Amino acid sequence: MATTPEHDQRMANMTFTSVYPHYLSKVEKKGRSKEELHQVITWLTGYDEVTLRKHISEKITFKEFFAQASLNPNAHLIKGVICGYRIEDITTPLTQQVRFLDKLVDELAKGRKMEKILRVP
């Protein structure tokens, strides 16, 4: 399923700050911690804790958030369906990166083991 240009633009302009509380709430409701959420985000983006907290406090867009990130070389191993889109079929890199993050948060909330989430061989 291909994304539309409008969908891709909406993803690019959405702020990380507006979505982060939803990520945190989702994982905490399922008994996971803020630290585990940060571990997952750090694995995907390469951000250290200081940089991540800075991005959370600022109103940067997902476009800016991922432009400054060093995407994990194993991110391509994140597969599956999220929000009706098969991640590996998304052709817009930024939209795919946002959906990578969404999928990791979902896996964390569903109780998946951290080594599986972080694609540890």
Alpha helices for 1-121 (secondary structure H): 5-13, 16-29, 34-45, 49-57, 62-67, 93-109, 114-117
Q: What is the structure's pLDDT at 84?
A: 86
**pLDDT tens digits, one per residue of 14-57:** 999 999 999 999 999 999 999 999 999 999 999 999 999 999 99
CATH code of the domain in which 93 resides: 1.10.8.290
Q: How many residues comprise the chain? A: 121
Tell me the pTM.
0.93
Q: Based on the structure, what is the number of domains in the chain? A: 1
Contact 46, 69 (CB under 8 A): yes
The Cα–Cα gap between 78 and 118 comes to 9
pLDDT, residue 121, reads 73
Domain that residue 87 falls in: 5-117
Question: What are the beta bridge partners of residue 85?
Answer: 82
